[in-house]
Structures are given as structure tokens and as C-alpha cells.
Amino acid sequence: MNAYTPRKKENTSPTYRSADKVNMVALFLSLLLIPAAYFQLDAVWLVALASVLITATVLYNHRSLNALRSAQSKARHDNNQLEKRIAQDEILLKEIHHRVKNNLQTVSSLLSMQSRGVDDDNTRELLLSSKHRVISMALIHEMLYAYDDISKIQYQEYTEQLVSQLVRSVKGADNNIHLDIRMSDIKLGVNTAVPLGLLINEFITNTLKHGILGEEHGQITITLEKDSEDNFLLQLKDTGIGFSDAILTGKPNSLGLRLINNLVRQLRGQLIKEDSEIGVHFKVYFRESGAYKKKIIQPKKEALTA
């Protein structure tokens, strides 16, 4: 093994490379002193030359070390400033979500007040439906404000809160509706969570008003799954009276069904109405906003069975 092996240039900083050169020169000259001493040259000159070389090497290395420490100190300072800025941005985003939630709740309260002052049943129902849509959006911003992750929300928790609130609002606290919501540990960003929440809101509202009538017993099943290619499958089922495929594929008179079609297009997904012996069974295939690249191919049923 050689007495000295310099570092590769591409793996070392300029400061270290310069120090290595000085060390190499000092070592080379020191090795020249050995034969000079052997041939009994003037010892004073030899000691002086060696002292000068050693002193120059130590001083240069000391200067290089100080430069390195200064660079490390500046890097730590810059990192601290960056962390502070990120923390400030997160606080600002949380405040924005909080204000959006408050504004949406104000709109919801105004719609509720207007509905109580209207005598026409159809108009009152339209106002209350609009209120539910606003609440579905406000709930997303409330969760983004309340939790540490300001970019995504845990969608099962959101859906459970949304659906439970809708059932109580439409059917009352004492109702005969059984909910089955299964979404594993799926988290979605706000750009996907909002239209998907509105879609679920429309399905639940239609089911509670037109599918499961009066005080009848009924079940609503909502599942959301993700496959290995980042395709999502949302399944919406109920045990109501159902409706024909022509109503969905044609020009539906129901505002809720038109909204469902529009929201699926906003998600850039596919809506499929499955044949069902009882009630309605929707399948919605989509991808997270910003990740969509091509038309979604329906996954195999066995891979995404609820």
C-alpha cells in the first residue's frame, strides 16, 4: 500500500483537495531531506527547511479547517431559516383552511335560515340540499385545519362524519339506516377529496330521499380501494327502490344525478351502474388529481372486490 493515497477529485471539496496538495508537497520534500541528511549536509539548513514546510502545512490546514467550519455554520443557519419558513407557511395554510371553513359554515347557516322562512316544500328541499353540499366542503377544510397533515385527509373518517350527519339531518337522530363504510387507510388531497365528497353527498342524499323511503330499514355501503397502479375504486350501494339505467345514461331530471355525472367527469373517472337485485350499486373508477395520464381501464373484479 502506498504511503499516501489522494482522494478522488469528484468526491472531495476544493478545500480538501488544496490541503491534500500541500500535504503531498510537504511529504515529498520531507522525503528529500532523508538522503540530504544521509550525505551530511548542513543540519541547520535542513532543520530550517523542515520547520518552514511543517509550519506552512499546519497554517494552511488550519485556514482550510476554519473555512470548512464557516461553511458548515452557514449551512446550519440556512437550514434553520428554511425550517422556520416552512413552519410559518404551514401555520398560514392552516389559518386559510380555518377561514374557508368558517365562511362555508356561514353560508350553510344562511341557507338553513332561508329554508325555515320558505313555505314551498320544493324550494325548501333545494335550499337544504345546497346546505348539505356546502357542509361536505366545509368538513374537508375543518379536518385539514385540525390535523398535522395539511395536504391530505384520512378519507374514512371524513366519510363517516359526512354520512352520519346527512342521515341525522334527513332521517332524524332515531333512524333505521345501517351504515357500512370501509376505506382502509386511504388519504386524499383536497383537489380530489372535495369533488369525491360532493359525489358521496349526492348519492347519500338521493338514497335517503328517494331510495329508502320513510321509516323503512335500509343499508348504505361505501367502500374505497386502491390498486397497485394507483387506480381508485369507489363503490356506493344501498338497499332502496333503485332506478333504471336509462335515467342515469340519458338526461336525468334529478339535479343530484346530473351532479354525480358532472363530478365523475371532474375526477376524470368512469361511472358504472352495476346490475343489482335490490337498490343501487355504483362503481366509480378514478385517479388522484394530477396523476391521471390515460383512460382508466376497469380493474379485474377479483382484485377490487369490496
* pLDDT reported for residue 17: 56
More confident residue, 168 or 92: 168
**Which range in 85-99, 142-156, 247-261, 281-295 is most confidently predicted, on average pLDDT?**
142-156
In the predicted model, what is the mean pLDDT of residues 207-213?
Answer: 89
Q: Report whether 214 contacts 176 (CB < 8 A).
A: no
Picking from 18-22, 184-188, 223-227, 292-296, which range would have the lowest pLDDT averaged per residue?
292-296
Q: For residue 1, name the pLDDT band (cuts at 50, 70, 90).
A: very low
**Which range in 14-18, 159-163, 250-254 is most confidently predicted, on average pLDDT?**
159-163
Percent of the chain at pLDDT exceeding 90? 22
Q: Report whether 201 contacts 133 (CB < 8 A).
A: yes
* pLDDT reported for residue 301: 46
Q: Report whether 243 contacts 235 (CB < 8 A).
A: no
What pTM was estimated for this model as a whole? 0.68
* pLDDT reported for residue 196: 94
pLDDT at residue 210 above 70? yes
More confident residue, 216 or 27: 216
Q: For residue 155, name the pLDDT band (cuts at 50, 70, 90).
A: very high
CA distances 212 to 117, 205, 207, Å, are 27, 10, 6
* pLDDT reported for residue 8: 47
Spell out the residues 6+ positions from residue 192 whose beta carbon is closer than 8 angstroms to its own: 267, 286, 288, 289
Domain extents in the chain: 9-78, 172-306
pLDDT at residue 291 above 50? no
pLDDT at residue 19 above 70? no
pLDDT at residue 49 above 80? no
pLDDT at residue 47 above 80? no
pLDDT at residue 90 above 60? yes
Other C-beta atoms within 10 Å of 46: how many? Answer: 14
CA distances 165 to 105, 174, 218, Å, are 14, 13, 16
Q: In whole angstroms, give the CA distance from residue 190 to residue 166.
A: 21
**Chain mean position to CA 143:** 13
Q: In whole angstroms, give the CA distance from residue 168 to residue 164.
A: 6
* pLDDT reported for residue 161: 93
* pLDDT reported for residue 20: 57
**Residue 295 region by backbone torsions, left for phi larger than 0, else alpha for psi between -120 and 50, else beta:** beta
Q: In whole angstroms, give the CA distance from residue 8 to residue 112.
A: 73
In the predicted model, what is the mean pLDDT of residues 214-233?
Answer: 90
For 172-306, give the CATH class.
alpha beta
Q: pLDDT tens digits for 167-179?
A: 998 888 888 999 9
pLDDT at residue 36 above 70? no
Q: Where are the beta strands (DSSP E) in the chain?
A: 152-154, 177-182, 187-189, 218-226, 232-238, 270-273, 281-286
Percent of the chain at pLDDT exceeding 70? 72
Q: In whole angstroms, give the CA distance from residue 238 to residue 282.
A: 9
More confident residue, 55 or 10: 55
* pLDDT reported for residue 290: 52
* pLDDT reported for residue 178: 94
Q: For residue 57, name the pLDDT band (cuts at 50, 70, 90).
A: confident
